[in-house]
Chains A and B, each alone.
Chain A
């Protein structure tokens, strides 16, 4: 936390906001996961296809909306995070838990809704996709579990802290 904070010492400052810390970092976590998906699987590995011929119109629109929302979420999330830090309202435990939960929710959503329900594109082409789908969704689940454990720990720590 910066010591040159103009609000330091005022009554409004240094009031921790665990809920907001969690939500803001969930936004950042989801957006970062989406960025990893775009950079690693689309650009570096070329596993995902830019356009899958079986993509329906609805899937195309949902993909466009989600892709744009990811970009805006990354920008908005980082500035909301900076605002939390500026006010000294960031609670690190809840923030980390939020980041993992957000990343996990995105991964599972991408794996089930985008890949399987809407069929925007598959994890990989020209191979049996089943193990890839399992790995994809279990990785998402693992992120969710880590986020859940961190949240439970953060809540316990918050409860112990004298307020």
Chain B
């Protein structure tokens, strides 16, 4: 297993988060809130993906296995977690008081707004990946276990930041239109695809992976990235479809009222 020192605490945190989410959602439903079951399932699936990537068995050579783990903990898992609207759930559960006010203050702070500005979130996420694979960072992370662990944590959080910034399902600071989010997804996806193709030819500096392993890993990164990207694109498309339908229904309702009756 190639997992670092943060794997065990992170796994524990994921299990706790899944339990808290499920119990919290059940409490919301008991008091009469509409909280679809599919969100519970999506959140549990996200936690499972992260845990699998951190501690589960992953097939393939060393580089392919690393890519698979990265795909699970830093891309698929965070995307699923973001879609389950964890912040909305917590804000609904917390009673009015200091913790809720504090959380809202953080969510609405300029720093959070800046980080959740889609291009910034994309730069943090994909930029970090470029640094990892195209500088000596990879080698350093494999020599110093703590650095490797911190990187793993960074990748998970950056993935979550990116998914939240693109999907905008939770109440955070600043509104952001669909075009900017879609273009950010396009740019991030392209940067990811280019990095994957370049890894096909040459691995991270200071490493000597077998060519077959490197190629399998690069292709897994390329097509796995596609899958997560399509998932995020579907989230955006559903948002647009629903919002357009609501707007038209409102317009139709207004048009149905005779002009004199307004």
Residues in chain A within 8 A of chain B (CB atoms): 6-7, 10-13, 50-51, 53, 55, 60-61, 63-65, 67-69, 71-72, 74-76, 78-79, 82-83, 86-87
What residues of chain A lie closer than 8 Å to B192, measured between beta carbons? 64
CB atoms of B229 and A53 under 8 A apart: no
Closest CB pairs A-B (n = 10): A68-B189, A64-B193, A64-B194, A79-B237, A75-B233, A64-B190, A65-B190, A10-B252, A51-B200, A68-B190
CB atoms of B190 and A10 under 8 A apart: no
Q: State whether A82 and B241 are in contact (beta carbons under 8 Å apart), knowing that A7-B252, A12-B252, A71-B233 are contacts in the complex.
A: yes
- Majority secondary structure, A binding face: helix
Residues in chain B within 8 A of chain A (CB atoms): 182, 185-186, 189-194, 197-198, 200-201, 215, 218-219, 222, 226, 229-230, 233-234, 236-238, 240-241, 244-245, 248-249, 251-252, 255-256
What residues of chain A lie closer than 8 Å to B238, measured between beta carbons? 79
Q: State whether A75 and B237 are in contact (beta carbons under 8 Å apart), knowing that A60-B198, A65-B190, A83-B244 are contacts in the complex.
A: yes
What residues of chain A lie closer than 8 Å to B245, measured between beta carbons? 86
Give the CA-CA distance A10 to B252 in the complex, in Å.
7
CB atoms of B237 and A71 under 8 A apart: no
Closest to B229 in A: A71
Tally inter-chain residue pairs, CB-CB below 8 A. Answer: 83
CB atoms of A60 and B197 under 8 A apart: yes
CB atoms of A12 and B241 under 8 A apart: no
CB atoms of B200 and A65 under 8 A apart: no
CB atoms of B249 and A6 under 8 A apart: yes
Give the CA-CA distance A87 to B244 in the complex, in Å.
11
Q: State whether A50 and B200 are in contact (beta carbons under 8 Å apart), knowing that A6-B249, A61-B190 are contacts in the complex.
A: yes
CB atoms of A10 and B255 under 8 A apart: yes
Give the CA-CA distance A55 to B194 in the complex, in Å.
12
Closest to A70 in B: B226
- Chain B nearest CB from A47 CB (Å) reads 16
CB atoms of A75 and B248 under 8 A apart: no
Give the CA-CA distance A76 to B183 in the complex, in Å.
12
Give the CA-CA distance A149 to B229 in the complex, in Å.
36
What residues of chain B lie closer than 8 Å to A87, measured between beta carbons? 248
Give the CA-CA distance A10 to B254 in the complex, in Å.
11
- Chain B nearest CB from A48 CB (Å) reads 13
CB atoms of B197 and A72 under 8 A apart: no
Give the CA-CA distance A82 to B237 in the complex, in Å.
11
- Chain A nearest CB from B224 CB (Å) reads 13
CB atoms of B197 and A51 under 8 A apart: yes
Give the CA-CA distance A83 to B244 in the complex, in Å.
9
What residues of chain B lie closer than 8 Å to A13, measured between beta carbons? 252
* Other 16 A-B pairs with CB < 8 A, given A6-B252, A79-B237: A7-B249, A10-B255, A50-B197, A50-B219, A50-B222, A51-B200, A64-B190, A67-B190, A67-B226, A68-B186, A69-B186, A71-B226, A71-B230, A75-B236, A76-B182, A79-B240
